[in-house]
Amino acid sequence: MYILGDIGNTETKIFLVSLNNKITKKLTFSTKDINQIKLEKLFINFKIDYKKINKVLFCSVVPKSFNMIKKFLSKKIKIRCFEVKDLNLKSLIKIKANYKQVGSDRLTNAISLTNSQNNFIILDFGTATTFDVLIKNTYSGGIIAPGVKLSLNTLSDRATLIPKIDLKKIKNVIGNDTISAVRSGFFWGYAGLIDNIIYLIKKETGKSFKVIITGGFSNLFKKSIKTKVYQNKEITINGLIRISKLIK
């Protein structure tokens, strides 16, 4: 059995995966709330037979949280807990971007799509909204834009008269009250941002792409932009499964 995990700025997901690559259990919790006591309680409920674990791999953009989970698991399992960038990824993907500065979650997503004849743009609605460009199994770099929820919360925190709202699909562009005006600005604003960045990537590269969307707001935008997109909510775990094969 494998323990595979994705530690994001907002949320941490941990998967128990069988030797035939089937997800048997999933644990999700807030990254900022992690401590040793909470981990102990969470993993008790997770009910893992630690003796059966032979690989542990995480992609993480929060080093402090990864080190905390690594410390916790090292007390349970006598094998090394790897982070994606601890491994030599060259056999899985070529990387043209600055390796030290590319998030391991973004590389993991890209690796899940290698060995294909397509070029890909991976659009991930996370704490940040990221666009990653994969051309013929080469990670070429990407774009980092403000995250939808983070931007929405920041606006309501900084503007006294703007309440906390949930972002929803909205038909009209012109709002007739504060809430509908904010919803319109964020919904149509991000729809335009997405279409324009994809257009600019295509223009700059001179190539066509299959666009994959994932993350929290992918449901909201998948049918609300001009670009044809394919939703894949399992892209990160699929990438982790592929990368785990490098651990001998």
Q: 230 versus 222: which is more confidently predicted?
A: 230
Task: Specify if 181 maps to a domain.
Answer: yes
Task: Specify if 245 maps to a domain.
Answer: no
Cα distances (Å, whole numbers) of residue 52 to 1, 3, 34, 55, 239: 6, 10, 25, 9, 22
- Quick one: pLDDT at residue 147? 87
Domain CATH code at residue 102: 3.30.420.40
Q: Inform me whether the pLDDT recorded for 127 exceeds 80.
A: yes
Domain that holds residue 8: 2-86
Last residue of a domain, one of 26, 58, 86: 86
Task: Specify if 65 maps to a domain.
Answer: yes
Task: Specify if 218 maps to a domain.
Answer: yes
Dist. CA 83–CA 98, nearest whole Å: 18
Task: Specify if 244 maps to a domain.
Answer: no
Q: Which residues pair with 123 in a beta bridge?
A: 131, 213
CA 140 distance to own-chain centroid: 18
Q: What's the mean pLDDT in 158-184?
A: 83
User: Tens digit of pLDDT for each residue in 36-91?
Assistant: 888 988 888 888 888 889 999 999 999 999 999 999 998 888 899 999 999 999 99
In the sheet where 81-83 sits, what is the strand order? 23-30, 11-17, 2-7, 55-60, 81-83
How do strand 128-135 and strand 229-231 relate by DSSP bridges?
unpaired
Cα distances (Å, whole numbers) of residue 132 to 30, 48, 74, 75, 167: 25, 34, 33, 36, 24
Determine contact, residues 204/197, Cβ cutoff 8 Å.
no
In a shared domain, residues 115 and 171: yes
| Locus of tokens 């997503």 | 109
Task: Specify if 248 maps to a domain.
Answer: no
Annotated catalytic residue 33: no
Q: What is the pLDDT confidence band of residue 113, given thresholds at 50, 70 and 90?
A: very high
In a shared domain, residues 101 and 168: yes
In a shared domain, residues 173 and 78: no
CA 204 distance to own-chain centroid: 25
Last residue of a domain, one of 63, 86, 109: 86
In a shared domain, residues 73 and 98: no
Last residue of a domain, one of 55, 86, 117: 86
Among residues 6, 33, 86, 105, the one annotated as catalytic is 105
In a shared domain, residues 121 and 175: yes
- Quick one: pLDDT at residue 114? 93
Most confident by average pLDDT, 33-37, 76-80, 241-245: 241-245
Q: What is the pLDDT confidence band of residue 13, given thresholds at 50, 70 and 90?
A: very high
- Count of structural domains, the chain: 2
In a shared domain, residues 208 and 161: yes
- Quick one: pLDDT at residue 241? 95
Q: What is the mean pLDDT of the chain?
A: 90
User: Tens digit of pLDDT for each residue in 140-170?
Assistant: 999 999 888 888 778 777 777 677 878 788 8
Task: Specify if 141 maps to a domain.
Answer: yes
Q: What's the mean pLDDT in 91-111?
A: 93
Q: Inform me whether the pLDDT recorded for 3 exceeds 80.
A: yes
- Quick one: pLDDT at residue 7? 95
In a shared domain, residues 98 and 80: no
